[in-house]
Chains A and B, each alone.
Chain A
Amino acid sequence: MTDAVELKDVGKVFNPGRADQVVALTGVDLTVESGQFVSLIGPSGCGKSTLLRLVADLVPPTGGTVTVAGKPARKARLDQEYGIAFQQAGLFDWRTVQRNVELPLELRGASRAERRERAREMLDLVGLGDFAGHYPPQLSGGMQQRVAIARALAVHPPLLLMDEPFGALDEMTRERLQDELLRICARTGTSTIFVTHSIPEAVYLSHRVVVMSPRPGRITDVIEIDLGPRSDATRQSAGFFAGITKVRKALRGAPTAAAEVTA
């Protein structure tokens, strides 16, 4: 099966040749296999959001190639091969929750019946079926993010891109939504690239944690996580804490052992 995402020697320079030139990314090689959950973690300025936007073709690379679902990034974007969610839910206040989820389907030209059915399906998947007729200002932040996730998955894309989607939420809602997200990804089989600031979040959600560092932005380490199916016990398990320690060490710059983290 083709890899979900493949980045080869990707670089990005903002304002090249000018005084305020910034080397946001350099020499990035990354492969995300189909069905994998990969987190990008690193301090501010390490280029993780830029990397996500390169995959999304919202920003063009200065060098290297970005391949999504076997196609160049631009074609993948035009074919809606991914869904994206940002830190702000970005819902349209003038549309009901259901019509918000229908948005990507509408842009694709789906029929009204098909849109309605698919939106209903996605809202039920995120547990908001009863709120289809509500308007976004009536929902809490956590619920709005769930709608944003439903919208991102509305066209059943093979790839989900998320830029700190739970960053603006409180800890309890975060943990709940992390479980939700894993359940949804398992159900739909989507590959995911997830940008986060939170080490426990990265370890809990991912198969692999990609550690990045700034100036210039680059990947310094890739840590495999093998905690098995997540449950309430996972957050207390020794393997979970070992994983967090490994990631923290990698972020601080100490080289880690190549061994996997096991539960």
Chain B
Amino acid sequence: MSTTVDPIAATDPTAPVTLGRRRRTRGFAGLVRALLPPLVVGAGGLALWELVVKAGRIAPFILPAPSAIWEQFWLSREVIWKTGLASGTNALVGLVAGAVLGIVAAMAASRFRLLGEASIPVAAALNALPIIALAPILNNMFESTSSIPRRVVVAIVVFFPVFVNTLRGLRQVDPTHRELMDSYAAGGWTFTRLVRLPGALPFVFTGLRQASSLAVIAAVVAEYFGGLQDGLGSRITSAAANTAYPRAWAFVVGACVLGLVFYAAALALERLATPWRRSG
């Protein structure tokens, strides 16, 4: 017997006035409204950059003009695409491996309290080390044509933010939820499945968002230290070594775009998996 307007909610002074009170602009208009300010600021920034370089006659090895970078970007677009794919693949494989390991380790650490207490300071200490410094060591351990060293570096870099954030999420449980599930005699795995894991999901995605950008950085930078040179990192170093700075910057731009793609993908995945966060 429900009508379109709930009579009790309508007269309840504390109920929201309409069903969708805080309505953000949906659809195309909303997208435009959200993207316009950063686009305008970005375009303005680029224009300013161009002006400063041209008017100040700044040499390209100090700071190339955006127009020069764009020219090189367009000329090398095939190479950027190919090397971008290679770096992207390394980043993705390392991201998945590191994230899976981080989540499993966090689940173990939350299940066995002693393990959890001991692991966080250790993780923090290890994270302070420059992981990228492991790259030359790993390169020596494997064949020179192997992609494994770069992927291992990415996995280690990704492990820490995912582990720490997931563990935090698994640990915080609302005491009311605990009592509620006790009243239903639901404990152990049922409690973990229905309360702990879904409650931890937002934290997992916070870790993944951080990790996605870090993965690309690690994949690109790991190439600086040798090993298989089929990604963006090798092109950046070789262009810089040949003093072709606009071209080096062009590859850097490629790496930025790759990083943005990963971040956007992590964001999209988060929106998909945690639909309740967008509401209210």
Contact = CB atoms under 8 A, between A and B. Distances in A.
Given A78-B185, A130-B2, A135-B276, A140 B14 contact: yes
Interface stretch (A10-18, A85-93, A251-259): A85-93
A128 interface: yes
The 6 A-B residue pairs with the shortest CB-CB distance in the complex, in nearest-first order: A129-B2, A90-B176, A137-B280, A138-B280, A127-B8, A94-B198
Contacts of B179: 58, 84, 86, 90
A24 to B, nearest CB: 17
A233 interface: no
B192 to A, nearest CB: 14
Nearest to B198: A94
Contacts of A77: 183, 185
Interface string B91-114: 000000000000000000000000
Contact of B180 (A90, A169, A172): A90
B6 A92 contact: no
A143 interface: yes
Contact count band on B: 20 to 34
B183 A58 contact: yes
A84 B180 contact: yes
Contacts of B9: 127-128, 130-131, 143
Nearest to B197: A94
A169 B15 CA distance: 12
Contacts of A94: 198-199, 201, 274, 276
Given A58-B179, A84-B183, A90-B174, A130 B13 contact: no
24 contacts: A56-B183, A77-B185, A78-B185, A80-B185, A84-B180, A86-B176, A86-B180, A88-B174, A90-B176, A93-B276, A95-B198, A95-B276, A103-B184, A103-B194, A104-B184, A107-B190, A124-B2, A131-B9, A134-B19, A137-B280, A169-B14, A172-B14, A176-B12, A180-B8
A142 interface: yes
Contact of B16 (A82, A84, A140): A140
B236 to A, nearest CB: 42
A20 interface: no
A128 B16 CA distance: 13
Given A104-B184, A129-B2, A129-B6, A137 B276 contact: yes
Contacts of B182: 58
A131 B18 CA distance: 11
B124 interface: no
Contacts of A180: 8
Given A129-B2, A135-B280, A137-B276, A90 B184 contact: no
B279 A135 contact: yes
Contacts of B12: 140, 142-143, 173, 176
Interface string B169-196: 0000010110110111110001000110
A88 B176 contact: yes
Contacts of A142: 12, 14-15
Contacts of B194: 92, 103
Contact of B177 (A92, A135, A141, A170): A92
A199 to B, nearest CB: 23
